[in-house]
Chains A and B, each alone.
Chain A
Amino acid sequence: MLVASLLVASFLIFAAMYAAPGNPLAALSGGRSLSPEAQAALEQRYHLDQPFFKQYWYWLSGAVHGDLGISITLKQDVSSLIAQRAWITMSLVLYASILIVLIGVGLGIVAGLKSGWLDTSILVVSSFCAAIPAFVAAIVLALVFAVTLGWFPTMGTGEGFFGNLRALTLPAISLAISAIAIVARVTRAAIREEAGKEHVQTAVSRGIPRHFVITRHVLRNASIPITTVTGITIASLIAGSAVVEQAFGLNGLGQWLVRAAASKDLAVVQGISLLLVIAFVVVNVVVDILYAVLDPRVTLGQRAS
């Protein structure tokens, strides 16, 4: 099933690029007029003389072996270019995910277990933050913390581990801020719902100490929806990183995908698209596995959506 959906997805990506207007030869030759022999040589090299399905097959088998073709704008191997840039996107998404889990789930737990001003203020702040799009967050954060206060760089990835960490802080916060708010709200709601369940009442009635009621019953059971929502939210960040990469001038995959699309660098668009889809599918599979591990009522592959 998994392989089948990836196959269909790869086919859709390839078909979209095939349908793109413009002669790929013109792009390859950079607009120079070619002799018929040179043209034929290029066609043969890139299998352009072959029928559609054969071309798809060549591309797919290449992709499986890590060969995604040549970028026409950078005149380099797409796979190695991706390898050079992937770490930026990956660290950005990882950084944002850590923020989401620590801050989003953390605040949600606090708000879910405590009532009163703390709960109310977390609720108010999170409903405001949930509405902040990444690029608006990027502008405001850059304005305040980079330009005005000068704590963080406005552009680039910095040098060394701590340089990277510092440079990626504002982008990661921009990327994560609405997700943090959403996860916090979902966490709070899940905990509230679970705390009101009858089986929690049973535990109280049997004299189980409060902290065990919370950890063994409320949090344990609420972890199921929390994990699912957090996982899906993180999966959606992968493509969303393009926005903050653009805003903070980071040379990641997202920004490159956008540039390649604008300059019709087909091999690059195909390669990155395939990678993003795979990443999305993989994160979803991980979520499904976690779901099945956490909930004994579920067997793998039947997440209720």
Chain B
Amino acid sequence: MTAMVTTTAAQESPRRRGLRSRLGVSGAIAATIVAIASLVAVIGPWIAPHDPTIANLSQAWLAPSADHLLGQDVQGRDVLSRLLAGARSSMLGPLLVVVVCMVLGSSLAVISAWRRGFTDSAISSGLDILFAFPAILLAALSAVVFSPGLWAAVAALSVAYTPYVARVLRGAMLRERNQPYIAALEVQGSGATSICIRHLLPNVMPLMVAQATILFGYAVLDLAVISYLGLGVQPPNPDWGVMISENQSGILQHYPMPALAAGACIVAVVVAMNLLGERLLERSNASGR
């Protein structure tokens, strides 16, 4: 994995200066949102003005004030603090999902594309069966096996997304595999592993980066959904999905702020990630030709 990350950095660095200008205004806004969310994911718990978990029922549903900028939630906790602290599981969980999926998916894709024939069709039909398991169903199964929590949710989403990643990358790698230069390398006696690592993977790297970005957006959303359903992060731990389910009752009592604030965070990150991913995808398509 480390090797993969360094390759990306090495490949991207010469273009970095032009990146901002090429992303356009919406892309720049999206990149800023993602940067802020990532920063908060790391330092959030430390900059939270109040303890995100200590309840004070006498202050439930209090409107925003100078001390509590976004008001207080169902148990009187500071909404802003919970949002900041909740960024950690809401962002790092998806990161873990993406890392696992990219490693598993690209490995399966490389094997499929390289071996072709029987191996390829065996892997493809195995993945086809996994496609029949939607993320929420896998989350339920995972919650039973591992008991509900962030890890169970991450495991479920990793299984749910890997077939998708593998299928997309397999297609790209197969196209690359069938290029004449690969055959030329084989004739010259280069080993399969070396061709895969030095040519196949680097050549689909832009696509992988784009897919990882889009996947991250979906993972943020699905992880929030799983936590909302009670199968992911468990209350009272702060998490954006948990915050929505805890504070849903506020809507009936005209206190929508805590739930809406968490919802807005999720939507902002998901939309920003999607937009960035689409831009990267356009670029990887353009560079592929």
Are these two chains actual partners, yes or no? yes
Q: Taking the nearest CB of chain A, how far is it from the CB of B61, in angstroms? A: 14
The distance in angstroms between the C-alpha atoms of A154 and B132, with both chains bound, is 32
Q: Taking the nearest CB of chain A, how far is it from the CB of B165, in angstroms? A: 14
10 A-B pairs with CB atoms under 8 Å apart are A9-B133, A13-B141, A133-B221, A257-B140, A258-B229, A260-B140, A266-B144, A273-B137, A277-B137, A281-B132
Chain B residues near A188 (CB, 8 Å)? none
0 or 1 for each of B251-280: is its CB under 8 Å from A? (1 = yes): 110101001100100110011001000000
Report the nearest B residue to A254, measured CB to CB: B136
Chain B residues near A140 (CB, 8 Å)? 260, 263
Cβ of B100 under 8 Å from chain A: no
Report the nearest B residue to A265, measured CB to CB: B144
- The residues of A with any CB-CB pair to B shorter than 8 Å are 5, 8-9, 12-13, 16-17, 19-21, 131-136, 139-140, 142-143, 147, 154, 236, 238-240, 242-243, 246-247, 254, 257-258, 260-262, 264, 266, 269, 273, 276-277, 280-281, 284, 305
The distance in angstroms between the C-alpha atoms of A236 and B222, with both chains bound, is 13
Chain B residues near A21 (CB, 8 Å)? 145, 147
Chain A residues near B132 (CB, 8 Å)? 5, 9, 277, 280-281, 284
How many inter-chain contacts with C-beta < 8 Å in the A-B complex?
Answer: 121
Interface of A is mostly: helix
Asked if A139 and B133 sit within 8 Å, CB to CB, the answer is no
Which of B137, B225, B260 is in CB contact (< 8 Å) with A243?
B225
Asked if A280 and B167 sit within 8 Å, CB to CB, the answer is no
Q: Taking the nearest CB of chain B, how far is it from the CB of A200, in angstroms? A: 25
Asked if B134 and A280 sit within 8 Å, CB to CB, the answer is yes
Q: Taking the nearest CB of chain B, how far is it from the CB of A151, in angstroms? A: 15
Report the nearest A residue to B141, measured CB to CB: A16
Interface of B is mostly: helix
Which of B128, B144, B244, B245 is in CB contact (< 8 Å) with A264?
B144
Chain B residues near A269 (CB, 8 Å)? 140-141, 144
Cβ of B284 under 8 Å from chain A: no
Q: Taking the nearest CB of chain A, how far is it from the CB of B98, in angstroms? A: 18
Q: Taking the nearest CB of chain A, how far is it from the CB of B248, in angstroms? A: 7
Report the nearest A residue to B254, measured CB to CB: A147
Chain B residues near A264 (CB, 8 Å)? 144
Chain A residues near B202 (CB, 8 Å)? none
Asked if A262 and B248 sit within 8 Å, CB to CB, the answer is no
- The residues of B with any CB-CB pair to A shorter than 8 Å are 125, 128-129, 132-137, 139-145, 147-148, 167, 221, 224-225, 228-231, 244-245, 248, 251-252, 254, 256, 259-260, 263, 266-267, 270-271, 274
List 10 other contacts, CB 8 Å, given A135-B224, A258-B136.
Answer: A16-B141, A132-B267, A133-B221, A136-B244, A154-B252, A236-B134, A261-B231, A269-B144, A273-B137, A280-B132
Task: Tell whether A17 pairs with B144 under 8 Å between CB atoms, given A5-B129, A133-B266, A280-B134.
Answer: yes
Q: Taking the nearest CB of chain B, how far is it from the CB of A135, in angstroms? A: 6
Chain A residues near B139 (CB, 8 Å)? 261
Chain A residues near B134 (CB, 8 Å)? 236, 238-240, 276, 280
Asked if B267 and A133 sit within 8 Å, CB to CB, the answer is yes
Q: Which 9 A-B pairs have the closest CB atoms?
A: A239-B134, A261-B140, A136-B263, A239-B136, A261-B143, A131-B271, A16-B141, A258-B229, A5-B129
Chain A residues near B251 (CB, 8 Å)? 139, 142-143, 147, 154
Asked if B136 and A240 sit within 8 Å, CB to CB, the answer is yes
The distance in angstroms between the C-alpha atoms of A58 and B263, with both chains bound, is 45
Asked if B228 and A139 sit within 8 Å, CB to CB, the answer is no
Tell me which of A246, A262, A269, A284 has the highest count of chain B C-beta atoms within 10 A of its own C-beta.
A262
Chain B residues near A143 (CB, 8 Å)? 251, 256, 260
Chain A residues near B260 (CB, 8 Å)? 139-140, 143
Task: Tell whether A262 pairs with B267 under 8 Å between CB atoms, given A8-B129, A9-B129, A239-B137.
Answer: no
Q: Taking the nearest CB of chain A, how far is it from the CB of B205, in angstroms? A: 23
Asked if A243 and B256 sit within 8 Å, CB to CB, the answer is no
Task: Tell whether A257 pairs with B137 under 8 Å between CB atoms, given A143-B251, A281-B132.
Answer: yes
Chain B residues near A305 (CB, 8 Å)? 167
Which of B143, B145, B228 is in CB contact (< 8 Å) with A262?
B143
Asked if B267 and A239 sit within 8 Å, CB to CB, the answer is no
Report the nearest A residue to B241, measured CB to CB: A135
The distance in angstroms between the C-alpha atoms of A131 and B144, with both chains bound, is 30
Chain A residues near B228 (CB, 8 Å)? 135, 243, 246
Chain B residues near A266 (CB, 8 Å)? 144
